[in-house]
């Protein structure tokens, strides 16, 4: 008998090293890169072995289809993303795709066809690791993105359109990746929790109730570069010292917030970045999240106000890029209950219900079709890190839960 959970884990570990990573010794795979092409080729083999017909859509998503007894019935989608952050972990996104493949493999082993088709989706770009626009591929599938993003380049100066052409995709056909909501029964996404809550509760699985609202932007701080030895401290307009105070204000807002509110500075660049020159220009990133759009917006405005006050006091100029907003996404009540029932059937325990602080492709699917997520315990709470891991026994429970949940869509 195939140990589906163990095989899913093994396959995620296979996809860590070159040619499935752009770098040796640390996982990095971005949309439409060389390692992405190799990954799609390998995952296609696994999908075909599980009994699926496989295609790559117009935006570079990998789609494996297992027909039901009624091929005209709306399709049940299951999956996640195949791209990673730089120096990422083996299971973020990838595990959801592998579990989708194992679900279909189990149905094939049983000789079972459900009344509806199943599609396993490997989304190409959830992380925004290549272009500073997250979830390009899932948002294209829902029609939220209907044309190639303009004015956006990667670190090498390549546009989205050029990257598509270099990969063999036609940017003018992007809209062909868009699906119709009436053709989709539901979208479900298994995913590692990426946090410590399930481990703290000693629970293997949890059911997601909603995904937190996010906003991201860059802060540009302009001071005056000058000689570090001849400029008195009282006459300096030090952009880095000001940015440091601003970052502490960001942290303070996050610490003083309630519930699931968080605020993070994760990137910083300093110019001229020389030891004997006062920094003249700094930019840093802002990532702000909360359980509701309203709380997130209040947090973001409070942080921007604090930053402006610090800049005025220090004689600095400050500006903000237009924020990238991801609205809070509620999971469908019916799918929440299906997952909760399946978890209790499989584990004999009530499923914890969790808010996801991390963003997922499910956010793009919310409002487009019924959507739900199953969380799998993250030992140590680590994610976006090479030590990210899972317990094989948890993944096997997740596989059995997904199988039970999917079969419930017949009723």
Q: 317 a known binding residue? A: no
Please choose, from the candidates 338, 375, 75, 73, the residue with its C-alpha nearest in 3D space to the C-alpha of residue 198.
Answer: 375
Say how far apart CA 219 and CA 197 lie, in whole Å: 32
Q: Which residues of 331-361 are buried (b: 16+ CB within 10 A; e: fewer)?
A: bbeebbebbbbbbeebbeeebbebbbbbbbb
Say how far apart CA 134 and CA 299 lie, in whole Å: 21
Number of Cα atoms under 13 Å in the Cβ half of residue 294: 0
Say how far apart CA 411 and CA 400 lie, in whole Å: 18
Say how far apart CA 39 and CA 45 lie, in whole Å: 10
**Torsions phi, psi for 243 (to 5 deg):** -65, -35
Residue 33: both structure tokens together: 């890169």
Residue 109 host element (H or E): helix 94-110
Q: 289 a known binding residue? A: yes
Q: 180 a known binding residue? A: no
Give the position of tokens 């909360």. 290
Q: If DSSP states are collapsed to H, E and C, what string results for 226-272?
A: EECCCCCHHHCCCHHHHHHHHHHHHHHHHHHCCCCCEEECCCEEEEC
Q: 384 a known binding residue? A: yes
Q: 13 a known binding residue? A: no
Say how far apart CA 153 and CA 150 lie, in whole Å: 9
Residues in the chain: 411
Give the three-state DSSP class for 323.
coil
CB 4 within 8 A of CB 108: no
Q: 276 a known binding residue? A: yes
Residue 404 host element (H or E): helix 392-408
Neighbours of 38 (CB within 10 A): 16
Please choose, from the candidates 334, 368, 337, 297, the residue with its C-alpha nearest in 3D space to the C-alpha of residue 135.
Answer: 368
Q: 154 a known binding residue? A: no
Q: 237 a known binding residue? A: no
CB 182 within 8 A of CB 294: no
Binding site for allantoate: what residues are annotated? 216, 276, 289
Binding site: what residues are annotated? 81, 92, 127, 191, 216, 276, 289, 384
Binding site for Zn(2+): what residues are annotated? 81, 92, 127, 191, 384
């Amino acid at each position: 008998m195939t140990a589906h959970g163990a095989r899913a884990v093994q396959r995620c570990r296979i996809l860590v090293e070159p040619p499935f990573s752009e770098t040796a010794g640390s996982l990095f795979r971005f949309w439409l890169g060389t390692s992405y092409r190799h990954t799609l080729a390998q995952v296609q083999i696994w999908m075909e072995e599980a009994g699926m017909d496989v295609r790559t859509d117009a935006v570079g998503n990998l789609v494996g289809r297992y027909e039901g007894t009624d091929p005209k019935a709306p399709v049940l989608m299951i999956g996640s993303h195949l791209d990673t952050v730089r120096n990422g972990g083996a299971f973020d996104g990838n595990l959801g795709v592998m579990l989708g493949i194992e679900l279909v493999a189990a149905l094939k082993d049983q000789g079972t066809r459900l009344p509806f088709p199943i599609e396993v989706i490997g989304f190409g770009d959830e992380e925004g690791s290549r272009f500073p626009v997250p979830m390009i591929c899932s948002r294209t599938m829902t029609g939220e993105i209907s044309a190639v993003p303009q004015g956006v380049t990667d670190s090498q100066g390549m546009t989205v359109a050029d990257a598509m052409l270099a990969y063999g995709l036609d940017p003018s056909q992007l809209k062909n990746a868009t699906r119709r909501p009436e053709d989709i029964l539901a979208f479900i996404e298994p995913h590692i929790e990426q946090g410590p809550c399930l481990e703290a509760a000693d629970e293997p699985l949890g059911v997601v109730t909603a995904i937190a609202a996010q906003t991201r932007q860059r802060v540009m701080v302009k001071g005056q570069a000058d000689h570090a030895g001849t400029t008195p401290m009282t006459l300096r307009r030090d952009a880095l010292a000001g940015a440091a105070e601003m970052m502490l204000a960001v942290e303070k807002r996050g610490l003083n917030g309630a519930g699931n509110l968080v605020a993070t500075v994760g990137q910083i660049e300093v110019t001229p970045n020389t030891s004997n020159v006062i920094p003249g220009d700094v930019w840093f990133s802002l990532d702000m999240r909360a359980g509701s759009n309203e709380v997130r917006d209040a947090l973001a405005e409070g942080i921007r106000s604090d930053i402006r006050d610090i800049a005025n006091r220090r004689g600095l100029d400050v500006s903000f890029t237009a924020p990238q907003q991801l609205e809070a996404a509620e999971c469908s009540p019916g799918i929440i209950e299906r997952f909760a029932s399946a978890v209790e059937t499989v584990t004999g325990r009530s499923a914890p219900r969790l808010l996801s602080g991390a963003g997922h492709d499910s956010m793009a699917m919310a409002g487009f079709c019924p959507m739900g997520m199953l969380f799998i315990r993250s030992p140590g709470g680590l994610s976006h890190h090479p030590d990210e891991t899972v317990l094989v026994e948890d993944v096997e429970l997740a596989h059995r839960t997904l199988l039970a949940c999917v079969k419930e869509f017949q009723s």
